[in-house]
Chains A and B, each alone.
Chain A
């Protein structure tokens, strides 16, 4: 089965840049999607197909994907960005796979 590995936590000061990684075997050959989940709420898609943003998602959210690592980058971090973030891919042997999630703390 395909496994996605995320750091459990990332901390960043307001106004700085947060980078959340998602590791997987040759993940660069797959399309990676990212979700934001705030406490008690449903997940929200923030980046799809590696680097595209759904309508309504700020340009501060961006993504990249190469080799064995995909990255979600949040620029000019705000207090409201504090949440859990999950990466996700589709794999022919595992279907829909989620990473374990990363808790973003805004200091």
Chain B
């Protein structure tokens, strides 16, 4: 079964740091590009970051650029998101999602998410 499982969320103070992990199984992780997407409480989906299958190409949303770092370890079938200088507006459920593509780029497999709360 194709599966993504996020972990590492929790309560952190403003200005603090947190590292999220996403464990992949049921598919050849090293062949797929991956994304992080977040959803603030009661709000819509917001794309956060992208990483290519090899890790050589990375993109970030403007809202997290310079504060968040995406990475992956293909030997461990794992995706990561290092979040620094956290702000209250970073409070959200964070999903990792596999990228699929046909004529466009879409997210065909999602994890259940991990919750990050930034509050003093």
Chain A interfacial positions (CB closer than 8 Å to B):
30-33, 35, 37, 41-45, 48-50, 52, 54, 86, 88-90, 95-101
Contacts and interface: CB of A to CB of B under 8 A. Distances in A.
A88 B95 contact: no
Interface string B46-85: 1100100000000101000000000000000000000000
A90 B44 contact: no
A100 B95 contact: no
B1 interface: no
Contacts of A95: 47, 50, 59, 61
16 contacts: A31-B102, A41-B112, A42-B113, A43-B37, A43-B45, A43-B95, A45-B100, A48-B106, A49-B106, A54-B108, A86-B45, A96-B37, A96-B107, A97-B47, A98-B44, A98-B46
Q: For the complex, would chain A's binding face be called helix, strand, loop or mixed by DSSP majority?
A: strand
Contacts, number: 68
A45 B107 contact: yes
Interface of B: 35, 37, 44-47, 50, 59, 61, 95, 100, 102-108, 110-113
Is chain B's interface secondary structure helix, strand, loop, or mixed overall? strand
Contact of A31 (B95, B104, B113): B104
Q: Considering the complex of A and B, which 3 residue pairs feature the smallest CB-CB distances, nearest first?
A: A31-B104, A96-B47, A33-B106
B45 A48 contact: no
Contacts of A49: 102-104, 106
Contacts of B108: 45, 48, 54
A31 B47 contact: no
A35 B45 contact: yes
Greatest chain B CB density within 10 A among A41, A45, A89 is at: A45
